[in-house]
Structure 1
């Protein structure tokens, strides 16, 4: 079993209390991310699939819940891969009985892709207990805690995304006085 690290990595050391709190948060996120990656590996192994196969099935499941049609091009865009790569991936998932392809009802040039009931059942069997444990971890949180956590995660997603570069502030933090977002700082004000 991995030992918990009690102090942040040296590149996060600072004399600032704010930075020290931030370092603890970053270390907790790193620990969570490690646990999540291990869970994904276990899921991939139990379903004998790679990450992209699971991403496709998750995408198809959500699209079905929203009653939205999905084409191979939609999947290529979602995964950020070529249509040839998606075709090979769909061939594998179709052979294993996890998805089906059918002609588009109004455009004969298109093909629609959907997960099968076999895929849905296998995903539910594999993920139900883990999802239940995750939901139990959220129970009992107040509305204020929920807002704080989701806003923090939104800002972190923005901070690690392609939108932020250099001194640009793309993820305004909530203003403690109003609860509203603080306007982004001008690049020269950040120094």
Structure 2
């Protein structure tokens, strides 16, 4: 579903941003954002987990984290994070291990089965993206990268507030 703002700019938006005009690239970008927003919920449901558990596995696939740091990354409370970790451990997707530098603390580590679970559900998307990337010339890739990097930076301006 393409948002109203990208396909039919309001008079207020065009007044505020005189160069704003609908275009197929802006429509495609909005569609990508919409699909990207829906994707975690669909993948999590198919995998039999919550979206928070899926996001936790994504973070843990990058690095082992303490439960408090995982809570910060997920933007949830420490208590909620503990429940997420409990469920991931119960499903065999993660393990609690002693912290390598502080024996009083623990870190949460994704297991091979947890990593395989996420990769298994996302593999078709990654295969399609790899094929798409491979079909582009180096010059086309540079243009796509410049556009997407610029779009990310435009969105980050809102995060910096």
State the TM-score, normalizing by the size of structure 2. Answer: 0.79
Which of these residues, 128, 153, 157, is aligned with residue 158 of structure 1? Answer: 153
* CA deviation after TM superposition for structure 1 residue 86, in Å: 1.0
Task: Indicate the RMSD between aligned Cα atoms, in angstroms.
Answer: 2.8
**Is 2:53–2:84's contact at 8 Å kept on the other side of the alignment?**
yes
C-alpha distance in structure 1 between counterparts of 2:142 and 2:76, whole Å = 34
Pair 1:19 & 2:15 matched: no
Q: Distance in 1 between matches of 2:93 and 2:122?
A: 16
Aligned position for 1:61: 61
Shift of 1:14: 5.2
CA distance in 2, matches of 1:151, 1:130: 22
Which whole-Å CA distance do the structure 2 matches of 1:154 and 1:74 have between them?
A: 27
Which ranges of 4 or more aligned residues in structure 1 deviate by more than 6 Å?
A: none
Please, which runs of 5 or more residues in structure 2 have no aligned partner?
A: none
In terms of fraction of residues, the more helix-rich structure is: 2
The residue that corresponds to 2:8 in the other structure is 9
User: Is the radius of gyration larger for structure 1 or structure 2?
Assistant: 1
Q: For the residues of structure 2 that align with 1:44 and 1:114, how far apart are their CA atoms?
A: 19
Offset, 1:139: 1.7
- Consecutive unaligned residues of structure 1, counting only runs of 5 or more, are 64-68, 166-191
Q: 2:46 corresponds to which residue?
A: 46
Deviation at 1:50, TM superposition (A): 1.8
Counterpart position of 1:122? 117
Q: RCO (CA 8 Å, sep 6+): is it higher in 1 or 2?
A: 2
